[in-house]
Amino acid sequence: YSPIHVIGGGLAGSEAAWQIAEAGVPVILHEMRGVRGTDAHKTDGLAELVCSNSFRSDDATSNAVGVLHAEMRLAGSLIMQAADRNQVPAGGALAVDRDGFSQAVSTAIENHPLITVVREEVSGLPPEDWDLAIIATGPLTAPALAEAIRHETGADALAFFDAIAPIVYTETIDMNVCWHQSRYDKVGPGGTGKDYINCPMTEEQYNAFVDALIAGDKTGFKEWEGTPYFDGCLPIEVMAERGRETLRHGPMKPMGLTNAHSPTVKPYAVVQLRQDNALGTLYNMVGFQTKLKYGAQAEVFRMIPGLENAEFARLGGLHRNTYINSPTLLDQSLTLKSRPGLRFAGQITGCEGYVESASIGLVAGRFATAERKGETPSIPPATTAFGALLNHITGGHIVSDDEPGKRSFQPMNINFGLFPPLEAGALTKPDGAKRFRGKEKAQAKKQAIASRALSDCASWLGKSA
């Protein structure tokens, strides 16, 4: 076989290279560190962990990232092998000795007879003679390549920062307080006029909320010093600081909305949540990107009527992050629709986190290998963690229809909200006597989704679980 080129030797690129080589296809891995650094990496080692040393929960029975670990192990992941061998104690989490981990990945890659590592910056899209290539250059993709990607995909299709609004599990929103309605009942294509969930506030609640936003603990802004805020993307607490009325005339405006529970009382302000995935299991808080610390966010956002018991699939943030608008640009096998043979993998596709990035590298490597061998790439079922994450990246996403031009695709960690719901009756207790309730039900649901994922993943890989 002629080689597949992988650009970027981070978490995703290293895993992709390994999967391809283990399947008998040669790889040329291009990594710029050694020649050019990034703002976050400190070494020249492959798969360097730029911040925390944690791969998060290793619980494959009831934690979504634990399920992803298990699927990766099943698929022969190098990243998981290196992590398991360099584990340090961290309770139920999988944490690693970062140097030992990066060293183990580097050694395995550099010693693989089918992998050649080239230390160079790739400064444009792959040349014609790299007929199969994977771009896995991560959140800190070097500027020249980022510019080339932007040129190919269009100016709106590449983001350089994450302005993340918190995402709430739909089932934790109190619909006795909130109601479904689009502003002015506007019906967009495919919409119903009821696309949003609305949380009403009285004047007193609004004032208390604004005070809490201003007082809340914020994270520092070191990473962004000197960078102006982007218009339309101000952190919610910065808007609150600009004036007491700013939010009420911005993302929290009550116009065009009637409280279905008490139609005669006009809300003073409204927080809107927009459906975030096709399954309808997740809703994001519109306009609520924030630099508040996670603890403060949960506390302040639970002051919102209807969200008192909200559970968050992810909290808000504002970070430097290069990623493409994958749902419109990539096909299901992560290939750029405008350039057959060119795939993307890792954080640049819009997943978030070490494990997620590596897992998207894993599937991208397998897809490219299949293509090189003249086979059709086999897409993991949506019920697996691989498939659920892939579906978030390439497809199952709601594109905002009533705010033209507004990007609604945001990077995300794996979570149970990305998996399709269980089939009816899947939660019946074995004796059929009692039904699950409350916390026991939530736990049983996670376990059932996890075990369905692992067994479907094993079938996908042609293995027994």
**Interface residue list for ligand FAD (CB under 6 A):** 7-13, 30-33, 38, 40-41, 50-52, 121-122, 136-142, 145, 346-348, 353-354, 357
- Residue whose CB is less far from ligand FAD, 180 or 320: 320
Please give the Cα distance from 165 to 283 (Å, whole number). Answer: 10
- Residue whose CB is less far from ligand FAD, 57 or 182: 57
- Residue whose CB is less far from ligand FAD, 125 or 252: 125
Residues 6 or more apart from 431 whose CB is under 8 A from it?
none
CB 196, min distance to ligand FAD, A = 30
Please give the Cα distance from 254 to 245 (Å, whole number). Answer: 12
Closest residue to ligand FAD using C-beta atoms: 10
CB 117, min distance to ligand FAD, A = 11
Please give the Cα distance from 397 to 388 (Å, whole number). Answer: 11
CB 90, min distance to ligand FAD, A = 13
Residue 433 burial (10 A CB sphere; 0-12, 13-18, 19+): exposed
- Residue whose CB is less far from ligand FAD, 138 or 380: 138
Beta-bridge partner residues of 312 = 168
CB 16, min distance to ligand FAD, A = 9
CB 14, min distance to ligand FAD, A = 8
CB 258, min distance to ligand FAD, A = 42
Name residue, tokens 């705010």.
403
- Residue whose CB is less far from ligand FAD, 5 or 248: 5
Please give the Cα distance from 424 to 291 (Å, whole number). Answer: 40
Residues 6 or more apart from 36 whose CB is under 8 A from it?
121, 142
- Residue whose CB is less far from ligand FAD, 141 or 275: 141
Which of 313, 317, 312, 315 shows the shortest CA–CA distance to 291? 317
Which of 282, 381, 399, 390 shows the shortest CA–CA distance to 335? 390
Name the H helices within 349-384: 354-372
The packing angle between helices 64-74 and 354-372, to 10°, is: 30
- Residue pair 329/120 in contact (Cβ under 8 Å)? The answer is no
Please give the Cα distance from 349 to 291 (Å, whole number). Answer: 23
CB 122, min distance to ligand FAD, A = 4
CB 323, min distance to ligand FAD, A = 9
Residue type, 75: A
CB 331, min distance to ligand FAD, A = 19
- Residue whose CB is less far from ligand FAD, 348 or 418: 348
- Residue whose CB is less far from ligand FAD, 13 or 287: 13
Phi first, then psi: what are they for 324, rounded to 5°?
-95, 165
- Residue whose CB is less far from ligand FAD, 11 or 285: 11
- Residue whose CB is less far from ligand FAD, 357 or 369: 357
Please give the Cα distance from 282 to 301 (Å, whole number). Answer: 16
Q: Strand, helix or coil at 152?
A: helix
Residue 268 burial (10 A CB sphere; 0-12, 13-18, 19+): middle
CB 135, min distance to ligand FAD, A = 9
